[in-house]
Amino acid sequence: MTSVDDLWFLSDKACQTAEQTYHDLRKRYTDFIEFTRHRNVPRSRFRDVATGARDHGAPYGAHTLAYRPSGELLLVRHEGVDMWVLPGGELDRGESFQEAALRELGEESGIEATIEGLGMLGRVEFYCDGNMAWGVLPVYEAQAETTDIAVDDPDHEISEAQWFDKLPADTRDREEILQWRGQRFSGRA
């Protein structure tokens, strides 16, 4: 007996939602950095990210480029990937991307900020067993209202948060962040 693989259907729906989400964000915002990532993932991970993309277009949720007026950028240490990353994460039911980005920023660093726009928009493509799905990664730029750090991550993935004038070499998406920063702060690296 032949079993029908439903991943093709899930990936098709994920791509449709991602496409709509991408166009909605492009209509709402201007002047942001765009990038694309490609990931080969195992079947169980493909199903997870495709489900997130199908449900709201953003399998990794929303993230924040939180900065001080001096140009220092907030990064958090993510132990699962062993790198410095931008604070952010998955959406809770009923949350907007901006709400999720600010909630995650608070949990992972204790920082409060005001979103000023979209700083970066990623397209993340996932491949598995001949299937492809993709989703968006909205990264909002936000000026910090508070600067005292207090990590209270309920997922226990974030071990520390820190303000950086110069980005560490092991910063995920470093080139795109530097490109954004150069545009935002006139050449600051």
Q: What is the pLDDT of residues 40-51, one digit of tens each?
A: 999 999 999 999
166 part of a folded domain? yes
Q: Is the confidence at residue 2, as pLDDT, over 60?
A: no
**Bridge partners, 40 (sequence order):** 127
Q: What is the pTM (predicted TM-score) of this model?
A: 0.92
Q: Residue 116 corresponds to which tokens in the numbers above?
A: 């000023």
* Token pair in block for residue 165: 């004038």
Is the separation of the CB atoms in 133 and 126 below 8 Å?
yes
Position 1 in a domain: no
* Average pLDDT estimate for 27-40: 96
Type of residue at 176? E
Whether residue 169 is contained in a domain is answered as yes
Q: What is the CATH number of the domain that holds 158?
A: 3.90.79.10
Looking at the domain assignment, is residue 136 inside a domain?
yes
**pLDDT at site 162:** 97
Confirm whether 33 is domain-assigned: yes
1 confidence band (pLDDT: 50, 70, 90): very low
pLDDT digits (tens, 9 = 90+) for 90-103: 999 999 999 999 99
pLDDT category of residue 184 using cuts at 50, 70 and 90: confident
Report the 10 Å Cβ neighbour count for 114: 11
% of the chain beyond a pLDDT of 70: 96
Average pLDDT taken over every residue of the chain: 93
Residue 79 lies in a domain: yes
Domain assignment of residue 189, yes or no: no
**Residue 91 DSSP SS3:** coil
Q: Residue 125 is part of which domain span?
A: 7-184
Q: What is the count of structural domains for the chain?
A: 1
User: Considering just the CA atoms, what is the radius of gyration of the chain in Å?
Assistant: 17
